[in-house]
Amino acid sequence: MSSYLELLNLTREPFSNSPDPDAYCRTPTHEDCLNRLEIAIRLRRGLNVVLGEVGTGKSTLCRCLLRTLNEREGIDVFLLLDAGFDDADEFVRHLCELFTGERPPEGATRRECVGSIQSRVFDRALERKRNLVLFVDEGQKLGPAALEVLRELLNFETNTEKLLQIVIFGQPELEQTIDGMPNFKDRINECLSLRPLSQSESISLVRHRLRLAGGQAAERLFSRGGLVALHKASRGKPRQLMRLGHQMLLSLLVGGKRTVTARMVRAQAARNGDGGGVRWGRLIAAVLAVGCLAGAAYWMPDAVKREGLSRAASAVAAVSGWFAGKEGAPAASGGPERIGRPVEGPAEKREGNPAEAVPPAASAPVEAAGEAPSAPTGSVVPETLGTFRLVPGTALADIVRALYGSGSALELVTAKNPAYRTDVGAGPQEVTLPAVLFTPPASMTRGMLLSLGTFATPEEAYAAWRGYGKRASSLALTPIWRPGEGLTFHILAPRSFTSERNAWGWLSRFSPPSDAAVRLLPPFDDSCLVFHHFTVK
């Protein structure tokens, strides 16, 4: 294992399939579930259920919540890893041992075991003022009899709160069992569902794991296309992401390559049997469609028939080329796939936490003879936001807070500039600003945005932003990258507007200087990258 990690310059296994809370990535889906569960437990709401397909991260979520609660004062947590028991009596005996710390006598009845659990719960919850929480993993193994036992435990309550909190993590088939037990279903406070990850969430998860294992350099092990292909092959299921990600790292070592490409991922997925049916299904559908067109052409006039057959031939050629590419045929350019190439699809987005928002990796080295032609300006994702010349007396933290919208990004900036000095004797310094991606708030993905100025460099934008004095804090200095436009720096109103009238109304109240270059911008969408953390909801 050590040689495997050393060859890839990693300090730990990035794609472990164990539910490691340290490797948890704060995707919106899982974070919302965690927050809801923690609130329900703190308010002592009783029963909560989390449902999700195999490999969607239920066990990891359970361990994260378990660790969070263990760090809180006044909470006692009990974990049942496997809910598969032959009968309700054995289930009760196990719960009795879990709560009391002692195996009940062989002759103990179910009622006696429930009484022992009740005594311990009342002692801890009422006398010692503890909040007791029972986690049940693999909840789909619970039968109706076992669920009835849990329903009995939920009867331990006062006039104002439940004395025992229960959280069940299970696969969707558990819902069918619960539906057949109205008395149990009626007691559920929250029934949450974990869906597969979106493309941006999958990419964030993989890069988060790589970053933990080897820093920013480890992210260069996967190209942008490789990450997208990884998401498609795994269908957004974290467990499948981990399995395929591990296989791709092994492929790098075996093949002597430096970067995982989309072609490599598709080839491995085909060997695993993942996604093959989708490709064949699309091919068959295309062939049937062409056949229908050919049949219809028999009844068409000759002129229309010639035009239709010409278009059908073009369609067949396009489908054949697409299918060949999916099967791993070399690209026409022959050049290596590399990070930093022109964007091929919707730009990924990151979470608002700069610890999760990582600069796009630098381009991998290529052979001079095989290097692809340079892309048009404005079509390549920036690796940095440029440089900023710091003069003595200028605080880097202030610039970071203004530009990125979060002082926490300072750690990433200083890591990008190991030669940066903070001592008093330091003279002017050139600081490289990493391109840290953030997810804009949903409210700014619709309507229109209002820009009070557009600038080509961060220094120009920062100087103009500072010119607003105390009012600068109500504006957002925002670096934005759009296809065709490239990277620009805007001074934005930190909200969107539903109409031009609303935008100009806000502007008249704000009263910018007469020389401000005011214009309306389209909202943030999947094609643009935002390098500023907005605090609005």
- Residue range 118-152, pLDDT digits in tens: 999 999 998 899 999 999 998 999 989 999 999 99
CA distance between the termini of the chain: 44
How many CB atoms neighbour CB 340 within 10 A?
17
C-alpha 360/C-alpha 220 separation (Å) is 9
Residue 1's pLDDT is what? 47
Strand locations in 3-130 (E): 47-52, 75-80
Runs of H (alpha helix) within 380-446: 396-404, 410-416
Nearest to 168 by CA among 116, 120, 133, 196: 133
> Tokens representing 235?
């269908």
C-alpha 163/C-alpha 385 separation (Å) is 54
Helix (H, G, I), strand (E, B) or coil at 434: strand
Tokens 């057959």 found at: 309
Nearest to 136 by CA among 37, 280, 263, 274: 37
Residue 5's pLDDT is what? 76
SS (H, E, C) 441-454: CHHHHCCEEEEEEE
Residue 215's pLDDT is what? 83
Residue 103's pLDDT is what? 87
Residue 327's pLDDT is what? 39
C-alpha 376/C-alpha 197 separation (Å) is 32
Residue 356's pLDDT is what? 40
SS (H, E, C) 316-382: HHHHHHHHHHHCCCCCCCCCCCCCCCECCCCCCCCCCCCCCCCCCCCCCCCCHHHCCCCCCCCCECC
Strands 188-194 and 47-52: parallel
Residue 462's pLDDT is what? 93
C-alpha 333/C-alpha 385 separation (Å) is 29
Nearest to 435 by CA among 300, 531, 534: 531
Q: What is the DSSP letter of 135?
A: E
Side chain identity at residue 423, one-letter code? D
Nearest to 437 by CA among 418, 409, 398: 409
Query: Phi/psi zone of residue 84: left (φ > 0), alpha (ψ -120 to 50 degrees), beta?
Result: beta
The neighbouring-strand residues paired with 430 are 389
Contact, 381 vs 434, CB < 8 A? no
Element (H, E) at 111: helix 110-122
Query: Phi/psi zone of residue 256: left (φ > 0), alpha (ψ -120 to 50 degrees), beta?
Result: left
Residue 102's pLDDT is what? 87
Could you tell me the pTM of the whole model? 0.50
Alpha carbon separation from 388 to 153, 352, 455 (Å, rounded): 62, 23, 14
The alpha carbon torsion through 22, 26, 27, 29 (nearest 10 deg) reads 100
Residue 366's pLDDT is what? 33
Whole-number CA gyration radius for the chain: 29
User: In a structure prediction context, what are the per-residue pLDDT tens digits for the chain, which is 537 residues long?
Assistant: 446 677 788 888 888 777 766 666 777 778 888 888 989 998 999 999 999 888 788 888 888 888 888 878 889 999 998 888 878 888 999 999 999 988 888 888 888 999 999 999 999 998 899 999 999 998 999 989 999 999 999 989 888 889 999 999 999 999 999 998 988 999 999 899 888 888 888 888 898 888 888 888 888 899 999 999 999 998 888 888 888 998 998 888 787 788 899 999 998 888 887 654 444 445 555 455 555 555 554 555 554 445 554 454 444 444 444 444 443 333 333 333 332 333 333 333 344 444 344 444 333 333 333 333 344 445 566 888 999 998 887 888 889 999 998 877 888 888 888 888 877 677 888 999 998 888 888 889 999 999 999 999 999 999 999 999 889 988 999 999 988 888 999 999 988 999 888 888 888 788 888 778 888 999 998 888 999 988 764
